[in-house]
Structure 1
Amino acid sequence: MADVEATKSLSGLLNGIAQRVYHNKEEITEEVLKEQLFPELSGEEFRALHDKMRGLLRSIATADMDHAQLEAFLTAQTKRQGGGGVSAEQAAALSRFWRSQRVRVRESLLAQSRWEPGLRGLSWRVDLQTAASRGDAAHGGPVALMELELGRAGQDSDFVCLELDESTVTQVLRKLSDIQRSMEGIVQRS
Protein backbone atom coordinates (compact mmCIF):
# COMPACT_ATOMS: atom_id res chain seq x y z
CA MET A 1 0.00 0.00 0.00
CA ALA A 2 2.91 2.34 0.74
CA ASP A 3 4.22 1.86 -2.83
CA VAL A 4 0.85 2.87 -4.28
CA GLU A 5 0.84 6.04 -2.17
CA ALA A 6 4.44 6.84 -3.14
CA THR A 7 3.58 6.37 -6.84
CA LYS A 8 0.52 8.64 -6.49
CA SER A 9 2.59 11.27 -4.68
CA LEU A 10 5.29 11.18 -7.36
CA SER A 11 2.68 11.44 -10.14
CA GLY A 12 1.13 14.37 -8.29
CA LEU A 13 4.54 16.03 -8.01
CA LEU A 14 5.16 15.67 -11.77
CA ASN A 15 1.70 17.04 -12.54
CA GLY A 16 2.26 19.94 -10.14
CA ILE A 17 5.62 20.79 -11.70
CA ALA A 18 4.07 20.69 -15.18
CA GLN A 19 1.15 22.88 -14.08
CA ARG A 20 3.51 25.51 -12.70
CA VAL A 21 6.25 25.42 -15.34
CA TYR A 22 4.30 24.69 -18.52
CA HIS A 23 0.79 25.94 -17.76
CA ASN A 24 1.63 29.01 -15.63
CA LYS A 25 -0.35 28.00 -12.53
CA GLU A 26 1.35 30.34 -10.07
CA GLU A 27 -0.68 29.04 -7.13
CA ILE A 28 1.08 25.66 -7.31
CA THR A 29 4.20 26.34 -5.29
CA GLU A 30 6.89 24.02 -3.95
CA GLU A 31 5.43 24.55 -0.47
CA VAL A 32 1.95 23.46 -1.57
CA LEU A 33 3.33 20.37 -3.31
CA LYS A 34 5.43 19.40 -0.29
CA GLU A 35 2.57 19.95 2.13
CA GLN A 36 0.03 17.97 0.09
CA LEU A 37 2.22 15.21 -1.36
CA PHE A 38 5.32 14.69 0.79
CA PRO A 39 4.66 16.04 4.29
CA GLU A 40 6.95 13.38 5.78
CA LEU A 41 10.05 14.67 3.94
CA SER A 42 12.25 17.42 5.31
CA GLY A 43 12.39 20.64 3.33
CA GLU A 44 15.84 19.76 2.02
CA GLU A 45 14.83 16.23 0.98
CA PHE A 46 11.74 17.52 -0.81
CA ARG A 47 13.65 20.29 -2.57
CA ALA A 48 16.20 17.74 -3.84
CA LEU A 49 13.40 15.48 -5.15
CA HIS A 50 11.50 18.42 -6.66
CA ASP A 51 14.58 19.83 -8.39
CA LYS A 52 15.58 16.41 -9.74
CA MET A 53 12.09 15.74 -11.17
CA ARG A 54 11.84 19.26 -12.59
CA GLY A 55 15.26 18.89 -14.26
CA LEU A 56 14.41 15.49 -15.73
CA LEU A 57 11.04 16.73 -16.93
CA ARG A 58 12.67 19.78 -18.50
CA SER A 59 15.20 17.55 -20.31
CA ILE A 60 12.44 15.26 -21.58
CA ALA A 61 10.21 18.17 -22.67
CA THR A 62 13.00 20.19 -24.30
CA ALA A 63 13.98 17.19 -26.41
CA ASP A 64 10.29 16.33 -27.04
CA MET A 65 11.27 12.70 -26.55
CA ASP A 66 9.33 9.99 -28.31
CA HIS A 67 8.70 6.65 -26.57
CA ALA A 68 12.00 5.04 -27.63
CA GLN A 69 14.08 8.11 -26.68
CA LEU A 70 12.29 8.34 -23.34
CA GLU A 71 12.92 4.69 -22.50
CA ALA A 72 16.62 4.99 -23.42
CA PHE A 73 16.94 8.20 -21.36
CA LEU A 74 15.22 6.70 -18.33
CA THR A 75 17.26 3.49 -18.56
CA ALA A 76 20.43 5.58 -18.52
CA GLN A 77 19.10 7.57 -15.56
CA THR A 78 18.36 4.43 -13.54
CA LYS A 79 21.92 3.19 -14.12
CA ARG A 80 23.56 6.41 -12.93
CA GLN A 81 25.61 6.05 -9.79
CA GLY A 82 25.12 8.33 -6.81
CA GLY A 83 22.29 10.76 -6.12
CA GLY A 84 21.88 11.91 -9.70
CA GLY A 85 20.01 8.86 -10.95
CA VAL A 86 16.41 7.80 -10.54
CA SER A 87 14.81 4.73 -9.02
CA ALA A 88 12.81 2.30 -11.13
CA GLU A 89 9.61 3.69 -9.56
CA GLN A 90 10.58 7.26 -10.44
CA ALA A 91 11.42 6.20 -14.01
CA ALA A 92 8.05 4.45 -14.32
CA ALA A 93 6.23 7.54 -13.01
CA LEU A 94 8.11 9.80 -15.46
CA SER A 95 7.28 7.44 -18.32
CA ARG A 96 3.55 7.32 -17.44
CA PHE A 97 3.42 11.08 -16.99
CA TRP A 98 5.15 11.82 -20.31
CA ARG A 99 2.98 9.39 -22.28
CA SER A 100 -0.17 11.10 -21.00
CA GLN A 101 1.04 14.73 -21.02
CA ARG A 102 3.49 15.02 -23.93
CA VAL A 103 1.05 16.73 -26.29
CA ARG A 104 -0.13 19.29 -23.71
CA VAL A 105 3.42 20.13 -22.58
CA ARG A 106 4.59 20.47 -26.20
CA GLU A 107 1.68 22.80 -27.04
CA SER A 108 2.46 24.88 -23.98
CA LEU A 109 6.14 25.16 -24.90
CA LEU A 110 5.22 26.20 -28.44
CA ALA A 111 2.78 28.81 -27.13
CA GLN A 112 5.41 30.18 -24.74
CA SER A 113 7.95 30.48 -27.54
CA ARG A 114 5.73 32.55 -29.82
CA TRP A 115 6.04 36.27 -30.02
CA GLU A 116 2.88 38.11 -29.19
CA PRO A 117 1.01 39.57 -30.87
CA GLY A 118 1.13 37.18 -33.80
CA LEU A 119 0.23 37.72 -37.42
CA ARG A 120 -3.30 36.42 -38.01
CA GLY A 121 -3.80 37.65 -41.53
CA LEU A 122 -2.46 39.75 -44.37
CA SER A 123 -4.27 41.39 -47.24
CA TRP A 124 -2.89 43.64 -49.93
CA ARG A 125 -3.61 45.51 -53.09
CA VAL A 126 -1.71 47.72 -55.51
CA ASP A 127 -3.03 51.18 -56.33
CA LEU A 128 -1.90 53.61 -58.94
CA GLN A 129 -1.91 57.01 -57.39
CA THR A 130 -2.19 60.08 -59.50
CA ALA A 131 -0.36 63.28 -58.78
CA ALA A 132 -3.66 65.00 -57.96
CA SER A 133 -4.65 62.41 -55.33
CA ARG A 134 -1.36 62.74 -53.46
CA GLY A 135 -0.86 66.44 -53.86
CA ASP A 136 2.60 65.56 -55.19
CA ALA A 137 3.33 66.46 -58.78
CA ALA A 138 6.53 64.37 -58.83
CA HIS A 139 4.94 61.03 -57.85
CA GLY A 140 2.36 59.09 -59.82
CA GLY A 141 3.64 55.50 -59.50
CA PRO A 142 2.06 52.41 -58.01
CA VAL A 143 1.90 51.82 -54.25
CA ALA A 144 1.27 48.60 -52.40
CA LEU A 145 -1.22 48.84 -49.57
CA MET A 146 -0.87 46.07 -47.00
CA GLU A 147 -3.15 45.43 -44.06
CA LEU A 148 -1.71 43.26 -41.28
CA GLU A 149 -4.07 41.65 -38.80
CA LEU A 150 -2.28 41.22 -35.46
CA GLY A 151 -3.62 39.62 -32.34
CA ARG A 152 -2.97 37.88 -29.05
CA ALA A 153 -4.60 34.60 -28.13
CA GLY A 154 -8.13 35.20 -26.85
CA GLN A 155 -8.19 38.88 -27.80
CA ASP A 156 -9.61 40.90 -30.67
CA SER A 157 -7.35 41.72 -33.59
CA ASP A 158 -5.58 44.98 -34.24
CA PHE A 159 -4.99 46.15 -37.80
CA VAL A 160 -1.93 47.92 -39.16
CA CYS A 161 -1.96 49.47 -42.62
CA LEU A 162 1.25 50.00 -44.59
CA GLU A 163 1.81 51.94 -47.80
CA LEU A 164 4.90 50.86 -49.72
CA ASP A 165 6.33 52.34 -52.88
CA GLU A 166 8.17 50.19 -55.44
CA SER A 167 11.63 50.56 -53.87
CA THR A 168 10.33 49.71 -50.39
CA VAL A 169 8.58 46.59 -51.75
CA THR A 170 11.90 45.58 -53.35
CA GLN A 171 13.69 46.02 -50.00
CA VAL A 172 11.04 43.98 -48.16
CA LEU A 173 11.23 41.19 -50.76
CA ARG A 174 15.03 41.14 -50.48
CA LYS A 175 14.79 40.79 -46.68
CA LEU A 176 12.19 38.02 -47.01
CA SER A 177 14.50 36.18 -49.44
CA ASP A 178 17.32 36.45 -46.87
CA ILE A 179 15.00 35.00 -44.21
CA GLN A 180 13.95 32.16 -46.52
CA ARG A 181 17.57 31.27 -47.36
CA SER A 182 18.48 31.29 -43.67
CA MET A 183 15.57 29.02 -42.79
CA GLU A 184 16.38 26.63 -45.65
CA GLY A 185 20.00 26.46 -44.45
CA ILE A 186 18.88 25.54 -40.95
CA VAL A 187 16.44 22.89 -42.24
CA GLN A 188 19.13 21.33 -44.45
CA ARG A 189 21.56 21.10 -41.49
CA SER A 190 18.95 19.42 -39.27
Structure 2
Amino acid sequence: MADDEAAKSLSALLNGIAQKVYYNNTEVTEEQLRGELYPELPPEEFRALHERMAGLLKSIATADMDHAQLEAFLTAQTKRQGGGGVTAEQAAALSRFWKSQRARVRESLLARSRWEPGLRGLSWRVDLQTAASRGDAGHSGPVALVELELGRAGQDSEFVCLEFDEAKVNHVLKKMADIQKSIDGFVHRA
Protein backbone atom coordinates (compact mmCIF):
# COMPACT_ATOMS: atom_id res chain seq x y z
CA MET A 1 0.00 0.00 0.00
CA ALA A 2 2.88 2.39 0.77
CA ASP A 3 4.30 1.87 -2.74
CA ASP A 4 0.89 2.70 -4.20
CA GLU A 5 0.77 5.96 -2.20
CA ALA A 6 4.33 6.85 -3.25
CA ALA A 7 3.43 6.29 -6.92
CA LYS A 8 0.32 8.48 -6.57
CA SER A 9 2.31 11.24 -4.88
CA LEU A 10 4.98 11.15 -7.59
CA SER A 11 2.34 11.21 -10.35
CA ALA A 12 0.68 14.17 -8.65
CA LEU A 13 4.07 15.90 -8.37
CA LEU A 14 4.72 15.42 -12.10
CA ASN A 15 1.25 16.78 -12.88
CA GLY A 16 1.88 19.75 -10.60
CA ILE A 17 5.19 20.51 -12.30
CA ALA A 18 3.47 20.30 -15.70
CA GLN A 19 0.68 22.60 -14.52
CA LYS A 20 3.21 25.19 -13.38
CA VAL A 21 5.80 24.90 -16.16
CA TYR A 22 3.87 23.89 -19.28
CA TYR A 23 0.24 24.88 -18.68
CA ASN A 24 0.90 28.30 -17.05
CA ASN A 25 -1.11 27.55 -13.91
CA THR A 26 0.27 30.21 -11.56
CA GLU A 27 -1.75 28.86 -8.62
CA VAL A 28 0.53 25.81 -8.35
CA THR A 29 3.61 26.47 -6.23
CA GLU A 30 6.48 24.33 -5.02
CA GLU A 31 5.43 24.95 -1.41
CA GLN A 32 1.86 23.86 -2.16
CA LEU A 33 3.06 20.65 -3.82
CA ARG A 34 5.30 19.84 -0.88
CA GLY A 35 2.55 20.56 1.65
CA GLU A 36 -0.05 18.45 -0.13
CA LEU A 37 2.09 15.58 -1.43
CA TYR A 38 5.20 15.27 0.75
CA PRO A 39 4.53 17.05 4.08
CA GLU A 40 6.86 14.67 5.95
CA LEU A 41 9.81 15.31 3.62
CA PRO A 42 12.32 17.98 4.72
CA PRO A 43 12.27 21.03 2.43
CA GLU A 44 15.79 20.37 1.07
CA GLU A 45 14.93 16.81 0.09
CA PHE A 46 11.67 17.88 -1.53
CA ARG A 47 13.45 20.65 -3.43
CA ALA A 48 15.99 18.12 -4.73
CA LEU A 49 13.22 15.71 -5.78
CA HIS A 50 11.25 18.55 -7.40
CA GLU A 51 14.28 19.85 -9.31
CA ARG A 52 15.26 16.34 -10.47
CA MET A 53 11.74 15.58 -11.74
CA ALA A 54 11.40 19.02 -13.37
CA GLY A 55 14.79 18.57 -15.06
CA LEU A 56 13.90 15.11 -16.34
CA LEU A 57 10.54 16.36 -17.65
CA LYS A 58 12.31 19.24 -19.37
CA SER A 59 14.74 16.84 -21.07
CA ILE A 60 11.92 14.54 -22.16
CA ALA A 61 9.72 17.40 -23.38
CA THR A 62 12.50 19.28 -25.17
CA ALA A 63 13.41 16.16 -27.13
CA ASP A 64 9.71 15.28 -27.64
CA MET A 65 10.70 11.69 -26.93
CA ASP A 66 8.77 8.85 -28.52
CA HIS A 67 8.18 5.59 -26.63
CA ALA A 68 11.51 3.98 -27.62
CA GLN A 69 13.54 7.12 -26.84
CA LEU A 70 11.76 7.51 -23.52
CA GLU A 71 12.45 3.92 -22.49
CA ALA A 72 16.13 4.21 -23.44
CA PHE A 73 16.44 7.53 -21.58
CA LEU A 74 14.74 6.20 -18.44
CA THR A 75 16.82 3.00 -18.50
CA ALA A 76 19.98 5.11 -18.62
CA GLN A 77 18.66 7.26 -15.75
CA THR A 78 17.96 4.22 -13.55
CA LYS A 79 21.52 2.97 -14.09
CA ARG A 80 23.13 6.30 -13.07
CA GLN A 81 25.07 6.16 -9.86
CA GLY A 82 24.69 8.83 -7.22
CA GLY A 83 21.93 11.38 -6.71
CA GLY A 84 21.24 12.18 -10.35
CA GLY A 85 19.47 8.97 -11.27
CA VAL A 86 15.95 7.72 -10.71
CA THR A 87 14.45 4.63 -9.14
CA ALA A 88 12.52 2.10 -11.19
CA GLU A 89 9.30 3.42 -9.60
CA GLN A 90 10.15 7.00 -10.57
CA ALA A 91 10.97 5.87 -14.11
CA ALA A 92 7.62 4.09 -14.33
CA ALA A 93 5.80 7.22 -13.11
CA LEU A 94 7.65 9.39 -15.64
CA SER A 95 6.77 6.93 -18.40
CA ARG A 96 3.06 6.88 -17.46
CA PHE A 97 2.99 10.66 -17.20
CA TRP A 98 4.67 11.22 -20.57
CA LYS A 99 2.42 8.71 -22.35
CA SER A 100 -0.67 10.52 -21.12
CA GLN A 101 0.59 14.13 -21.38
CA ARG A 102 2.97 14.17 -24.36
CA ALA A 103 0.52 15.71 -26.83
CA ARG A 104 -0.61 18.39 -24.39
CA VAL A 105 2.93 19.34 -23.33
CA ARG A 106 4.04 19.42 -26.97
CA GLU A 107 1.15 21.71 -27.91
CA SER A 108 2.00 24.01 -25.00
CA LEU A 109 5.64 24.24 -26.11
CA LEU A 110 4.59 24.89 -29.72
CA ALA A 111 2.18 27.62 -28.65
CA ARG A 112 4.96 29.35 -26.71
CA SER A 113 7.27 29.30 -29.70
CA ARG A 114 4.83 30.98 -32.08
CA TRP A 115 5.14 34.63 -32.84
CA GLU A 116 1.94 36.61 -32.89
CA PRO A 117 0.60 37.65 -35.25
CA GLY A 118 1.56 34.65 -37.33
CA LEU A 119 1.90 34.35 -41.07
CA ARG A 120 -1.12 32.38 -42.30
CA GLY A 121 -0.52 32.71 -45.99
CA LEU A 122 1.53 34.34 -48.69
CA SER A 123 0.82 34.89 -52.34
CA TRP A 124 2.86 36.72 -54.91
CA ARG A 125 3.10 37.54 -58.58
CA VAL A 126 5.34 39.53 -60.87
CA ASP A 127 3.80 42.13 -63.15
CA LEU A 128 5.54 43.77 -66.04
CA GLN A 129 4.66 47.42 -66.09
CA THR A 130 5.29 49.43 -69.17
CA ALA A 131 5.98 53.14 -69.31
CA ALA A 132 2.53 53.76 -70.73
CA SER A 133 0.71 51.92 -67.91
CA ARG A 134 2.63 53.77 -65.15
CA GLY A 135 2.45 57.18 -66.73
CA ASP A 136 6.20 57.41 -66.17
CA ALA A 137 8.25 57.64 -69.32
CA GLY A 138 11.47 56.92 -67.41
CA HIS A 139 10.51 53.66 -65.67
CA SER A 140 9.32 50.33 -66.89
CA GLY A 141 10.13 46.87 -65.65
CA PRO A 142 8.96 44.06 -63.47
CA VAL A 143 7.21 44.68 -60.17
CA ALA A 144 6.74 41.99 -57.55
CA LEU A 145 3.45 42.13 -55.67
CA VAL A 146 3.38 40.22 -52.38
CA GLU A 147 0.28 39.70 -50.25
CA LEU A 148 0.77 38.55 -46.64
CA GLU A 149 -2.08 37.08 -44.63
CA LEU A 150 -1.44 37.72 -40.92
CA GLY A 151 -3.48 36.72 -37.93
CA ARG A 152 -3.64 35.95 -34.25
CA ALA A 153 -5.14 32.77 -32.86
CA GLY A 154 -8.93 33.01 -32.82
CA GLN A 155 -9.08 36.24 -34.83
CA ASP A 156 -9.78 37.09 -38.45
CA SER A 157 -6.88 37.57 -40.83
CA GLU A 158 -5.42 40.89 -41.85
CA PHE A 159 -3.87 41.36 -45.29
CA VAL A 160 -0.80 43.41 -46.14
CA CYS A 161 0.12 44.08 -49.74
CA LEU A 162 3.71 44.98 -50.65
CA GLU A 163 5.14 46.16 -53.97
CA PHE A 164 8.82 45.70 -54.86
CA ASP A 165 10.77 46.86 -57.86
CA GLU A 166 13.83 44.90 -58.99
CA ALA A 167 16.23 46.79 -56.69
CA LYS A 168 14.03 46.15 -53.63
CA VAL A 169 13.67 42.45 -54.49
CA ASN A 170 17.46 42.16 -54.73
CA HIS A 171 17.82 43.97 -51.40
CA VAL A 172 15.34 41.58 -49.71
CA LEU A 173 17.11 38.55 -51.21
CA LYS A 174 20.46 39.82 -49.93
CA LYS A 175 19.03 40.32 -46.43
CA MET A 176 17.55 36.81 -46.48
CA ALA A 177 20.93 35.40 -47.56
CA ASP A 178 22.54 37.30 -44.64
CA ILE A 179 19.99 35.81 -42.24
CA GLN A 180 20.65 32.31 -43.59
CA LYS A 181 24.39 32.84 -43.22
CA SER A 182 23.90 33.93 -39.58
CA ILE A 183 21.72 30.91 -38.85
CA ASP A 184 24.23 28.57 -40.48
CA GLY A 185 27.06 30.13 -38.45
CA PHE A 186 25.11 29.73 -35.23
CA VAL A 187 24.17 26.10 -35.99
CA HIS A 188 27.76 25.15 -36.80
CA ARG A 189 29.01 26.75 -33.56
CA ALA A 190 26.46 24.96 -31.41
Matches for 1:65-104 after TM superposition, within 5 Å? 65-104=65-104
5+ residue gaps, structure 1: 184-190
- The 3-state SS of whatever aligns with 2:109 is helix
Q: Residues 138 and 45 (structure 1 numbering): CA distance in 2 closer, same or farther, change over 3 Å?
A: same
CA deviation profile, 1:40-76 (whole Å, cap 9, x unmatched) = 2222121111000001111111222222221121122
Q: Residues 32 and 182 (structure 1 numbering): CA distance in 2 closer, same or farther, change over 3 Å?
A: same
Aligned-residue offset at 1:177? 7.4
Larger deviation, residues 158-167 vs 138-147: 138-147
Which AA in structure 2 matches 1:86?
V
Which AA in structure 1 matches 2:139?
H
Q: Residues 19 and 140 (structure 1 numbering): CA distance in 2 closer, same or farther, change over 3 Å?
A: same
Which AA in structure 1 matches 2:86?
V
Give the paired residue count: 187
Which AA in structure 2 matches 1:76?
A
Which AA in structure 2 matches 1:165?
D
Matches for 1:34-183 after TM superposition, within 5 Å? 34-127=34-127, 129=129, 136-172=136-172
Which AA in structure 2 matches 1:33?
L
CA deviation profile, 1:63-100 (whole Å, cap 9, x unmatched) = 22222221121122112222111111111100111111
Aligned-residue offset at 1:180? 8.4
Match of 2:20 in 1: 20
Identity %: 80
5+ residue gaps, structure 2: 184-190
| In structure 1, C-alpha distance between the alignment counterparts of 2:123 and 2:138, rounded to whole Å | 28
- The 3-state SS of whatever aligns with 1:122 is strand
Aligned-residue offset at 1:162? 0.8
| In structure 2, C-alpha distance between the alignment counterparts of 1:141 and 1:17, rounded to whole Å | 60
| In structure 2, C-alpha distance between the alignment counterparts of 1:53 and 1:25, rounded to whole Å | 18
Which AA in structure 1 matches 2:84?
G
Larger deviation, residues 114-123 vs 49-58: 114-123
| In structure 1, C-alpha distance between the alignment counterparts of 2:162 and 2:84, rounded to whole Å | 56
- The 3-state SS of whatever aligns with 1:155 is coil
- The 3-state SS of whatever aligns with 1:39 is coil
Which AA in structure 2 matches 1:25?
N
RMSD (CA atoms): 3.1
Larger deviation, residues 53-62 vs 74-83: 74-83
| In structure 1, C-alpha distance between the alignment counterparts of 2:37 and 2:28, rounded to whole Å | 12
**TM-score, structure 2 length as denominator?**
0.81
Match of 1:5 in 2: 5
**TM-score, structure 1 length as denominator?**
0.81
